[in-house]
Amino acid sequence: MNIIYMGTPEFAVAPLRALVEAGHKIQMVISQPDRPRDRGKKIQPTPVAAAAAELGLPLLQPASIKNDVELEARLRTLSPDVIIVVAYGKLLPVSYLSLPRYGCVNIHGSLLPRHRGAAPVQHSILAGDEETGVTLMYLSEGMDEGDMIVSRATKIETKSAGELLQELSHLGASLLTDTLPAIEQGTAARSPQDPALATYAPMLTKQDGHVEFKKGAVHAERQIRAMDPWPGAFVYYKEDRMKLLKAIVLPETGKGDKTPGQILSVSDAGLDIQTSSGILRVTKIQMPGKRPMEVSDHLKGNQFEINCVLR
Protein backbone atom coordinates (compact mmCIF):
# COMPACT_ATOMS: atom_id res chain seq x y z
CA MET A 1 0.00 0.00 0.00
CA ASN A 2 1.02 3.63 -0.49
CA ILE A 3 1.27 5.12 2.99
CA ILE A 4 1.80 8.50 4.61
CA TYR A 5 3.08 7.90 8.12
CA MET A 6 2.67 10.40 10.96
CA GLY A 7 4.39 9.80 14.31
CA THR A 8 6.86 11.32 16.74
CA PRO A 9 8.05 9.38 19.85
CA GLU A 10 9.79 6.03 20.28
CA PHE A 11 6.36 4.36 20.54
CA ALA A 12 5.85 5.10 16.83
CA VAL A 13 9.18 3.71 15.58
CA ALA A 14 8.43 -0.05 15.61
CA PRO A 15 5.25 0.31 13.48
CA LEU A 16 7.16 2.39 10.91
CA ARG A 17 9.92 -0.22 10.68
CA ALA A 18 7.33 -3.00 10.40
CA LEU A 19 5.61 -1.28 7.48
CA VAL A 20 8.91 -0.96 5.62
CA GLU A 21 9.83 -4.59 6.34
CA ALA A 22 6.40 -5.70 5.09
CA GLY A 23 7.11 -4.05 1.74
CA HIS A 24 4.71 -1.11 1.93
CA LYS A 25 5.69 2.10 0.18
CA ILE A 26 6.14 4.96 2.62
CA GLN A 27 5.49 8.02 0.50
CA MET A 28 6.13 10.49 3.29
CA VAL A 29 6.93 10.50 7.00
CA ILE A 30 5.63 13.47 8.98
CA SER A 31 6.94 14.11 12.49
CA GLN A 32 6.99 16.93 15.01
CA PRO A 33 9.87 19.44 14.73
CA ASP A 34 13.17 18.60 16.39
CA ARG A 35 13.39 20.09 19.88
CA PRO A 36 15.88 20.38 22.76
CA ARG A 37 15.98 17.23 24.88
CA ASP A 38 17.78 15.78 27.88
CA ARG A 39 20.03 17.69 30.25
CA GLY A 40 22.22 19.26 27.57
CA LYS A 41 19.13 20.77 25.89
CA LYS A 42 20.67 20.09 22.49
CA ILE A 43 18.38 19.98 19.50
CA GLN A 44 17.77 16.33 18.70
CA PRO A 45 15.64 14.65 16.05
CA THR A 46 12.45 12.98 17.16
CA PRO A 47 12.76 9.18 17.31
CA VAL A 48 10.56 8.83 14.22
CA ALA A 49 12.57 11.46 12.32
CA ALA A 50 15.78 9.62 13.19
CA ALA A 51 14.29 6.31 12.03
CA ALA A 52 13.06 7.87 8.79
CA ALA A 53 16.54 9.23 8.06
CA GLU A 54 18.08 5.82 8.77
CA LEU A 55 15.58 4.11 6.48
CA GLY A 56 16.03 6.69 3.73
CA LEU A 57 12.41 7.80 3.77
CA PRO A 58 11.10 11.23 2.71
CA LEU A 59 10.57 13.34 5.83
CA LEU A 60 8.67 16.50 6.69
CA GLN A 61 8.63 18.19 10.09
CA PRO A 62 6.22 21.12 9.81
CA ALA A 63 5.84 23.50 12.72
CA SER A 64 2.09 23.06 12.32
CA ILE A 65 -0.20 21.14 10.01
CA LYS A 66 -3.20 23.31 10.82
CA ASN A 67 -4.19 25.61 7.96
CA ASP A 68 -1.11 24.57 5.97
CA VAL A 69 -2.70 24.61 2.53
CA GLU A 70 0.53 23.84 0.68
CA LEU A 71 1.25 20.78 2.81
CA GLU A 72 -2.25 19.40 2.36
CA ALA A 73 -2.07 19.95 -1.39
CA ARG A 74 1.27 18.12 -1.48
CA LEU A 75 -0.18 15.16 0.40
CA ARG A 76 -3.21 15.04 -1.90
CA THR A 77 -0.86 14.91 -4.87
CA LEU A 78 0.69 11.77 -3.39
CA SER A 79 -2.78 10.14 -3.42
CA PRO A 80 -2.06 7.77 -0.50
CA ASP A 81 -4.03 4.62 0.15
CA VAL A 82 -3.96 5.25 3.89
CA ILE A 83 -2.54 7.67 6.45
CA ILE A 84 -1.17 5.87 9.50
CA VAL A 85 -1.05 7.99 12.67
CA VAL A 86 0.86 6.78 15.74
CA ALA A 87 1.33 9.27 18.58
CA TYR A 88 1.91 12.17 16.21
CA GLY A 89 1.16 14.68 18.94
CA LYS A 90 -1.45 16.87 17.26
CA LEU A 91 -5.00 16.35 16.08
CA LEU A 92 -5.34 16.01 12.33
CA PRO A 93 -7.35 18.64 10.48
CA VAL A 94 -10.76 17.33 9.50
CA SER A 95 -9.88 17.69 5.82
CA TYR A 96 -7.17 15.02 6.22
CA LEU A 97 -9.73 12.36 7.14
CA SER A 98 -11.02 12.08 3.58
CA LEU A 99 -7.63 12.52 1.95
CA PRO A 100 -6.52 8.84 1.69
CA ARG A 101 -8.43 6.16 -0.18
CA TYR A 102 -8.97 3.92 2.86
CA GLY A 103 -9.06 6.60 5.53
CA CYS A 104 -6.77 7.52 8.41
CA VAL A 105 -5.84 4.67 10.75
CA ASN A 106 -4.48 5.14 14.26
CA ILE A 107 -2.69 2.85 16.73
CA HIS A 108 -3.89 3.80 20.20
CA GLY A 109 -2.20 2.44 23.34
CA SER A 110 -5.27 1.21 25.21
CA LEU A 111 -8.30 -1.04 24.87
CA LEU A 112 -10.73 1.60 23.67
CA PRO A 113 -13.04 3.16 24.64
CA ARG A 114 -11.15 3.00 27.94
CA HIS A 115 -8.37 5.57 28.34
CA ARG A 116 -8.88 7.90 25.41
CA GLY A 117 -6.30 10.69 25.38
CA ALA A 118 -2.60 11.44 25.46
CA ALA A 119 -1.35 9.14 28.24
CA PRO A 120 -3.37 5.90 28.11
CA VAL A 121 -0.57 3.57 29.21
CA GLN A 122 0.26 5.58 32.32
CA HIS A 123 -3.37 5.95 33.31
CA SER A 124 -4.04 2.23 32.86
CA ILE A 125 -1.38 1.57 35.52
CA LEU A 126 -2.69 4.31 37.83
CA ALA A 127 -6.21 2.92 37.55
CA GLY A 128 -5.07 -0.55 38.58
CA ASP A 129 -6.26 -2.17 35.34
CA GLU A 130 -5.32 -5.85 35.03
CA GLU A 131 -4.73 -5.55 31.31
CA THR A 132 -4.24 -3.00 28.59
CA GLY A 133 -3.41 -3.27 24.91
CA VAL A 134 -3.54 -1.55 21.56
CA THR A 135 -6.52 -0.66 19.42
CA LEU A 136 -6.42 -0.10 15.69
CA MET A 137 -9.05 2.48 14.81
CA TYR A 138 -10.23 4.86 12.10
CA LEU A 139 -9.69 8.49 13.01
CA SER A 140 -12.71 10.76 13.30
CA GLU A 141 -13.24 14.40 14.26
CA GLY A 142 -13.36 13.62 17.99
CA MET A 143 -10.29 12.67 20.03
CA ASP A 144 -9.91 8.86 19.95
CA GLU A 145 -13.62 8.50 19.20
CA GLY A 146 -13.39 6.74 15.82
CA ASP A 147 -14.66 3.31 14.90
CA MET A 148 -12.51 0.44 16.13
CA ILE A 149 -11.04 -2.12 13.76
CA VAL A 150 -9.33 -4.60 16.10
CA SER A 151 -7.67 -4.72 19.53
CA ARG A 152 -4.99 -6.88 21.10
CA ALA A 153 -4.49 -7.17 24.87
CA THR A 154 -1.62 -7.82 27.27
CA LYS A 155 -1.35 -8.19 31.05
CA ILE A 156 -0.02 -5.19 33.01
CA GLU A 157 1.21 -7.12 36.08
CA THR A 158 4.12 -5.15 37.63
CA LYS A 159 5.34 -3.51 34.41
CA SER A 160 6.36 0.13 34.32
CA ALA A 161 4.96 2.55 31.76
CA GLY A 162 8.27 2.42 29.89
CA GLU A 163 8.15 -1.38 29.69
CA LEU A 164 4.51 -1.34 28.60
CA LEU A 165 5.10 1.32 25.96
CA GLN A 166 7.86 -0.77 24.41
CA GLU A 167 5.71 -3.90 24.47
CA LEU A 168 2.65 -2.14 23.06
CA SER A 169 4.70 -0.50 20.31
CA HIS A 170 5.70 -3.91 18.96
CA LEU A 171 2.22 -5.31 19.58
CA GLY A 172 0.75 -2.42 17.59
CA ALA A 173 3.28 -2.92 14.81
CA SER A 174 2.30 -6.55 14.28
CA LEU A 175 -1.41 -5.76 14.60
CA LEU A 176 -1.06 -3.05 11.96
CA THR A 177 0.76 -5.16 9.38
CA ASP A 178 -1.61 -8.09 10.03
CA THR A 179 -4.69 -5.90 9.48
CA LEU A 180 -3.71 -3.69 6.53
CA PRO A 181 -4.62 -6.35 3.91
CA ALA A 182 -8.18 -6.50 5.27
CA ILE A 183 -8.39 -2.70 5.26
CA GLU A 184 -7.31 -2.66 1.62
CA GLN A 185 -9.77 -5.41 0.69
CA GLY A 186 -12.63 -3.71 2.53
CA THR A 187 -13.17 -6.67 4.87
CA ALA A 188 -11.83 -5.09 8.08
CA ALA A 189 -14.25 -4.81 10.99
CA ARG A 190 -15.63 -1.40 11.91
CA SER A 191 -17.16 -1.21 15.39
CA PRO A 192 -18.47 2.06 16.87
CA GLN A 193 -17.27 2.85 20.38
CA ASP A 194 -19.72 2.97 23.26
CA PRO A 195 -19.30 6.48 24.72
CA ALA A 196 -20.84 5.32 28.00
CA LEU A 197 -17.74 3.17 28.58
CA ALA A 198 -15.23 5.89 27.73
CA THR A 199 -12.64 7.11 30.24
CA TYR A 200 -9.99 9.75 29.65
CA ALA A 201 -6.23 9.78 30.07
CA PRO A 202 -5.00 13.39 30.00
CA MET A 203 -1.42 14.38 29.27
CA LEU A 204 0.96 14.08 32.19
CA THR A 205 2.76 17.00 33.81
CA LYS A 206 5.95 16.99 35.89
CA GLN A 207 3.86 17.49 39.03
CA ASP A 208 2.08 14.19 38.39
CA GLY A 209 5.31 12.51 39.48
CA HIS A 210 5.06 13.84 43.05
CA VAL A 211 4.22 10.72 45.06
CA GLU A 212 1.21 11.10 47.35
CA PHE A 213 1.54 8.83 50.40
CA LYS A 214 -1.82 10.06 51.65
CA LYS A 215 -3.46 7.99 48.90
CA GLY A 216 -2.08 4.72 50.23
CA ALA A 217 0.70 2.26 49.45
CA VAL A 218 -1.04 0.63 46.50
CA HIS A 219 -1.55 3.97 44.75
CA ALA A 220 2.03 5.07 45.47
CA GLU A 221 3.46 1.87 43.98
CA ARG A 222 1.32 2.29 40.87
CA GLN A 223 2.36 5.93 40.61
CA ILE A 224 6.05 4.97 40.67
CA ARG A 225 5.54 2.52 37.78
CA ALA A 226 3.25 4.85 35.83
CA MET A 227 5.70 7.75 35.94
CA ASP A 228 8.66 5.69 34.68
CA PRO A 229 10.41 6.95 32.57
CA TRP A 230 8.66 10.36 32.45
CA PRO A 231 8.08 12.51 34.41
CA GLY A 232 9.60 10.24 37.06
CA ALA A 233 8.21 9.65 40.56
CA PHE A 234 9.75 11.82 43.26
CA VAL A 235 9.54 13.00 46.87
CA TYR A 236 11.58 15.36 49.00
CA TYR A 237 13.89 13.92 51.61
CA LYS A 238 14.65 16.98 53.71
CA GLU A 239 15.73 19.41 50.94
CA ASP A 240 16.77 16.79 48.37
CA ARG A 241 14.50 15.82 45.51
CA MET A 242 14.70 12.04 45.54
CA LYS A 243 13.43 9.91 42.65
CA LEU A 244 11.65 6.69 43.53
CA LEU A 245 12.36 4.06 40.88
CA LYS A 246 11.08 0.77 42.29
CA ALA A 247 8.87 -0.20 45.21
CA ILE A 248 6.67 -2.96 46.57
CA VAL A 249 3.65 -2.95 48.87
CA LEU A 250 4.21 -4.81 52.14
CA PRO A 251 1.44 -6.88 53.73
CA GLU A 252 1.76 -4.98 57.01
CA THR A 253 -0.66 -2.12 57.61
CA GLY A 254 1.78 0.03 59.62
CA LYS A 255 1.06 2.13 62.68
CA GLY A 256 -1.93 4.40 62.99
CA ASP A 257 -0.01 7.06 64.91
CA LYS A 258 2.50 7.57 62.09
CA THR A 259 2.30 10.28 59.39
CA PRO A 260 1.94 9.32 55.71
CA GLY A 261 5.43 9.61 54.24
CA GLN A 262 7.20 8.82 57.51
CA ILE A 263 10.25 6.53 57.24
CA LEU A 264 9.59 3.60 59.57
CA SER A 265 12.79 1.64 59.00
CA VAL A 266 15.92 1.57 56.84
CA SER A 267 17.74 -1.58 55.73
CA ASP A 268 19.40 -3.16 52.73
CA ALA A 269 15.93 -4.39 51.79
CA GLY A 270 14.77 -0.80 51.31
CA LEU A 271 13.03 2.18 52.87
CA ASP A 272 9.81 1.21 54.63
CA ILE A 273 7.44 4.17 54.41
CA GLN A 274 4.12 4.66 56.15
CA THR A 275 1.21 5.66 53.95
CA SER A 276 -2.42 6.38 54.77
CA SER A 277 -3.12 2.73 54.03
CA GLY A 278 -0.26 0.24 54.28
CA ILE A 279 3.52 0.31 54.06
CA LEU A 280 5.49 1.00 50.90
CA ARG A 281 8.99 -0.42 50.63
CA VAL A 282 11.14 1.59 48.22
CA THR A 283 14.00 -0.52 46.87
CA LYS A 284 15.59 1.67 44.20
CA ILE A 285 16.19 5.44 44.22
CA GLN A 286 18.12 8.24 42.56
CA MET A 287 19.48 11.16 44.57
CA PRO A 288 20.31 14.54 42.96
CA GLY A 289 23.43 14.33 40.80
CA LYS A 290 23.75 10.58 41.37
CA ARG A 291 23.08 7.53 39.25
CA PRO A 292 20.08 5.28 39.95
CA MET A 293 20.92 2.69 42.59
CA GLU A 294 19.49 0.12 44.95
CA VAL A 295 18.86 1.43 48.44
CA SER A 296 21.38 -1.14 49.71
CA ASP A 297 24.10 0.45 47.56
CA HIS A 298 23.16 3.97 48.64
CA LEU A 299 23.48 2.96 52.29
CA LYS A 300 27.12 1.98 51.85
CA GLY A 301 28.12 5.63 52.07
CA ASN A 302 24.94 7.41 53.13
CA GLN A 303 22.13 7.14 55.62
CA PHE A 304 18.45 7.98 56.03
CA GLU A 305 16.95 9.40 59.18
CA ILE A 306 14.28 7.14 60.65
CA ASN A 307 11.00 8.98 61.36
CA CYS A 308 11.84 11.70 58.84
CA VAL A 309 8.75 12.48 56.78
CA LEU A 310 9.12 12.39 53.02
CA ARG A 311 7.02 15.08 51.43
Q: Looking at the domain assignment, is residue 233 inside a domain?
A: yes
Q: Looking at the domain assignment, is residue 307 inside a domain?
A: no
CATH number of the domain to which 249 belongs = 3.10.25.10
- Whole-angstrom Cα Rg for the chain: 22
- Looking at the structure, do residues 101 and 172 belong to the same domain, yes or no? yes
- Looking at the structure, do residues 219 and 183 belong to the same domain, yes or no? no
How does DSSP assign 279-297, residue by residue?
EEEEEEEE-TTS--EEHHH
Per-residue model confidence as pLDDT tens digits over 137-194: 999 999 999 999 999 999 999 999 999 999 999 999 999 999 999 999 999 999 999 9
| Structure confidence at residue 276 (pLDDT) | 95
Q: Looking at the domain assignment, is residue 304 inside a domain?
A: no
Q: Residue 25: helix, strand or coil by DSSP?
A: strand
CATH number of the domain to which 140 belongs = 3.40.50.170
| Structure confidence at residue 39 (pLDDT) | 65
Q: How many domains does the chain have?
A: 2
C-alpha distances (whole Å) from 52 to each of 14, 21, 32, 187 are: 11, 13, 13, 30
Average per-residue pLDDT in the chain?
96
Q: Looking at the domain assignment, is residue 309 inside a domain?
A: no
pTM above 0.85, yes or no: yes
- Looking at the structure, do residues 45 and 76 belong to the same domain, yes or no? yes
Domain extent, residue 78, equals: 2-197
Q: Looking at the domain assignment, is residue 310 inside a domain?
A: no
Give CA angle at 308 (233, 294), nearest 5°: 45
Q: Looking at the domain assignment, is residue 308 inside a domain?
A: no
- Looking at the structure, do residues 59 and 151 belong to the same domain, yes or no? yes
Q: Which residues are registered as beta bridge partners of 294?
A: 284
Q: Which residues of the chain have pLDDT under 70?
A: 38-40
Q: Looking at the domain assignment, is residue 151 inside a domain?
A: yes
SS (H, E, C) 193-206: CCHHHCCECCCCCH
Instruction: Determine contact, residues 283/243, Cβ cutoff 8 Å.
Output: no
- Looking at the structure, do residues 14 and 137 belong to the same domain, yes or no? yes
Per-residue model confidence as pLDDT tens digits over 133-152: 999 999 999 999 999 999 99
Q: Looking at the domain assignment, is residue 185 inside a domain?
A: yes
